[in-house]
Amino acid sequence: MNSATLNNSGCLLCGADLVYREQAYSLSCALCGEKLMTHAACANGHFICDRCHSLSALDLIEQTCNASADIDPLRLAVALMANPNIKMHGPEHHYLVPAVLITAWCAVSGDESKGEKLAIARKRAEDVKGGFCGFHGTCGAAMGAGVACSVLTGATPLAREEWRLSNLMTAACLTAIGEAGGPRCCKRDTFLALLTARNFLNRHLNAGLPEGSLPVCSFSANNRECLAAGCSFYPATAHKG
Ligand SMILES: [Zn+2]
Ligand SMILES: [Zn+2]
């Protein structure tokens, strides 16, 4: 596969490097819109104010996705993960997955109900608690992909095709995550869920999401249980074959 490499770097919104200027200048925050003086913005001109930088993980994900027009869910997820409010492991990943999928879907399709969809997905993802992977046999990142499919197709417990697709989506992600094996890693499991979900949305719903990018993990030093060379996103092993 001819893959673009994704590393987490500067900008929360797009991942581009930050550019610092000696003189402060006035810019509007890309998330809340407030005009403030700053010394730094990313290479694409995004500035994010200190208050937005310290939002709770779920607020940060929702507001960033509301402001983003990224068509690549993997790239957006990697940019978001760089924020320290998104922990190495934690249930915020259960919302991160549907949020970036919905954002990319809406960016490609021109769907204007993104804000409403992000809010619905957040409510549902909040029901998926930490530790579901080991205790319930159902990784929350995979459930997040099922939430995305349900929201995007408008599935309900009584739907037929939408119900089928939403359950198949979770199943496909769980298969990828289960086959990679434990112990849990919210980065690895999120990457696997997003890669699987992106392809699923393209195959079954013609989402038109770009398929080139593969994440390279930069979090292994923060993960005591990292599989290192046993993980396909570990820097030394990524992109081999
Ligand atoms: Zn940016
Ligand atoms: Zn702000």
Q: Which ligand is the nearest neighbour of the Cα of 43? A: 1
Q: Tell whether pTM > 0.85.
A: yes
**Local confidence band at 1 (pLDDT 50, 70, 90 cut-offs):** very low
The mean pLDDT of the chain is: 92
Q: Judge whether 139 and 184 are in contact, CB under 8 Å.
A: yes
Tell me, in angstroms, the distance from the centre of ligand 2 to residue 53's CA. 7
Q: Quick one: tokens of 241?
A: 């074959």
Q: Judge whether 200 and 162 are in contact, CB under 8 Å.
A: no
Tell me, in angstroms, the distance from the centre of ligand 1 to residue 44's CA. 5
Q: Give whichever of 2-6, 93-97, 219-223 has the largest mean pLDDT.
A: 93-97
Tell me, in angstroms, the distance from the centre of ligand 1 to residue 14's CA. 4
Kindly report, residue by residue over 27-51, the tens digit of the pLDDT: 999 999 999 999 999 999 999 998 8
Dihedral, CA of residue 181, residue 85, residue 53 and residue 117, to nearest 10? 60
Dihedral, CA of residue 150, residue 151, residue 153 and residue 154, to nearest 10? 100
Rounded CA separation 51/48 (Å): 8
Between residues 7 and 132, which one has the greater pLDDT?
Answer: 132
Tell me, in angstroms, the distance from the centre of ligand 1 to residue 48's CA. 9
**Local confidence band at 161 (pLDDT 50, 70, 90 cut-offs):** very high
Tell me, in angstroms, the distance from the centre of ligand 1 to residue 148's CA. 25
Residue corresponding to tokens 């978001």: 80
Residues 6+ away with beta carbon under 8 Å from 95: 58, 61, 62, 121, 122, 125, 126, 144
For residue 238, the model assigns a pLDDT of: 66
**Local confidence band at 202 (pLDDT 50, 70, 90 cut-offs):** very high
Is the dihedral angle over the CA atoms 194, 197, 201, 203 positive or is it negative? positive
Between residues 237 and 15, which one has the greater pLDDT?
Answer: 15
**Local confidence band at 8 (pLDDT 50, 70, 90 cut-offs):** low
Tell me, in angstroms, the distance from the centre of ligand 2 to residue 67's CA. 11
Tell me, in angstroms, the distance from the centre of ligand 1 to residue 47's CA. 7
Kindly report, residue by residue over 120-131, the tens digit of the pLDDT: 999 999 999 999
Tell me, in angstroms, the distance from the centre of ligand 1 to residue 65's CA. 13
Tell me, in angstroms, the distance from the centre of ligand 1 to residue 30's CA. 9
For residue 239, the model assigns a pLDDT of: 59
Q: Quick one: tokens of 29?
A: 């925050």
What secondary structure, in 3-state letters, does 114-168 show? HHHHHHHHHHHHCCCCCCHHHHHCCCHHHHHHHHHHHHHHCCCCCCCHHHHHHHH
Tell me, in angstroms, the distance from the centre of ligand 1 to residue 239's CA. 26
Tell me, in angstroms, the distance from the centre of ligand 2 to residue 208's CA. 31
As a whole number, mean pLDDT of residues 75-95 equals 93
For residue 9, the model assigns a pLDDT of: 57
